[in-house]
Structure 1
Amino acid sequence: MSSFIPFDRSQPYLLPPDLKSWLPSDDVAHFIVAAVERVPLRAFSVPVRTGGKAQYHPRLMLALLIYAYANGVFSSRRIERATYRDIGIWALMTP
């Protein structure tokens, strides 16, 4: 008889539907989201483009940069890599 917790790698939902619930309530990601929501972004408004891929919202990009810089990640390649691995960044990117 083993005392291991059973697991199934083919389980469809390994993460909760709301990734913010994985972060502690005092995590810096929550503060950054709240702070970026209060920043007026009129300077970032751009005319509507007619072609190409849709752009990411400036609030998302600003929150991503602030979070990465606050965690000592300054390289754009490392920031991009963190978007695949860091739960805090995932929580920033969820609506």
Structure 2
Amino acid sequence: MLIEVEVCDVCRRLGVPVTSYTITETESGRSVVTVRCGEHAAPFEEVLGQPVEAVAAAETPKPRQAKKAATGRQPRGQRAERQVMTREQIDAAKAAGKA
């Protein structure tokens, strides 16, 4: 005697109603069957409940606006010109209280 019981491929809980889903990649024709309980089938049901256009729009990333540089600061990637000083100039500036 053989008894077959279908369980969710993710949680493997017994006694929970499950649904089989077949997922096919259109370009290569690869196909896989997965069995999911209501909790783990939510992503599939969400996609299946939407029109195809809505699914494609949801998968398309929206362009991001470039961030504006904070006022008074140089934008990233641009360095301020460095001031080159000799040791004597540094010592003189320290003595004058400027550094």
| Bigger fraction of residues in strand | 2
TM-score by length of 1: 0.22
Using the size of structure 2 for normalisation, the TM-score is 0.21
- Work out which of the two has the higher radius of gyration on C-alpha atoms and give 1 or 2: 2
Structure with greater helix percent? 1
